[in-house]
A and B are shown apart, each in its own frame.
Chain A
Amino acid sequence: SQTIHQWPATLVQPVGSPLSLECTVEGTSNPNLYWYRQAAGRGLQLLFYSVGIGQISSEVPQNLSASRPQDRQFILSSKKLLLSDSGFYLCAWSNGGHGGSYNEQFFGPGTRLTVL
């Protein structure tokens, strides 16, 4: 069966410090991978998604970046964190391919980031 891992679970970082969050998926090949952020009391905001190694689509952020160095590894980074980067960061995967009617997404346990 498929599992998705994220680490760390909790992180407290000062403003201006770098960030690296990692997500790995097991039990599937060529998944689509996603990074979301959920601010306190808010909905999920899609940050990046990837359909393959080295292929990254950016939805929003200016000071965040993502990389996919391996098929089942997705990394979220920042060179300098802002206060507004605080939130709950979730990685998700879905079956690969373009569309299909029912590509449900499955989420990792998330990383709760506080920027002080």
Chain B
Amino acid sequence: RKEVEQDPGPFNVPEGATVAFNCTYSNSASQSFFWYRQDCRKEPKLLMSVYSSGNEDGRFTAQLNRASQYISLLIRDSKLSDSATYLCVVKPGGYQKVTFGTGTKLQVIP
């Protein structure tokens, strides 16, 4: 089983739709979780950290489910500019290294 798994997509959604991605991880000792966004041929950029209690930033909501070992990202009212690949990142406690998922591609359609 991969350390971090994501559905590669693509998810094709109309503008204004709500879309959700899940990411599963295998190491139950993982402590920190993040979502990054990567535009085509660009570097990944931090979208949000995922806190145990869940967190929201505008149209974006991240949730953590430790029991089932997955994190989720919900995007409401999708914009064309949300089109990108979303990378799930998992970090064990006490280590400097993180593990990146291979990403889920989102295409928002007019």
Interface positions of A (Cβ within 8 A of B): 32, 42-44, 46, 49, 51, 59, 88, 90, 94, 98-99, 101-110, 112
> Contact at B96–A32, with CB atoms within 8 Å?
yes
Chain B interface residue count, Cβ-Cβ cutoff 8 angstroms: 23
By beta carbon, the residue of chain A nearest B33 is: A102
Q: How far is the CA of A49 from the CA of B94 in the complex (A)?
A: 15
Report if B1 contacts A (CB, 8 A).
no
B residues near A110, Cβ cutoff 8 Å: 42-43
Known: A42-B102, A43-B102. A101 touches B93 (CB 8 A): yes
A residues near B97, Cβ cutoff 8 Å: 46, 49, 59
Closest Cβ of chain B to A97, distance in Å, is 9
Report if B31 contacts A (CB, 8 A).
yes
By beta carbon, the residue of chain A nearest B101 is: A43
Q: How far is the CA of A84 from the CA of B110 in the complex (A)?
A: 38
Closest Cβ of chain A to B5, distance in Å, is 11
Q: How far is the CA of A49 from the CA of B91 in the complex (A)?
A: 14
By beta carbon, the residue of chain B nearest A99 is: B94
Report if B22 contacts A (CB, 8 A).
no
Report if B46 contacts A (CB, 8 A).
yes
Please tell me which one of the listed residues A44, A102, A103, A109 contacts residue B96 in the complex, with CB atoms under 8 A apart: A103
Report if B98 contacts A (CB, 8 A).
yes
Q: How far is the CA of A84 from the CA of B15 in the complex (A)?
A: 39
> Contact at A101–B31, with CB atoms within 8 Å?
yes
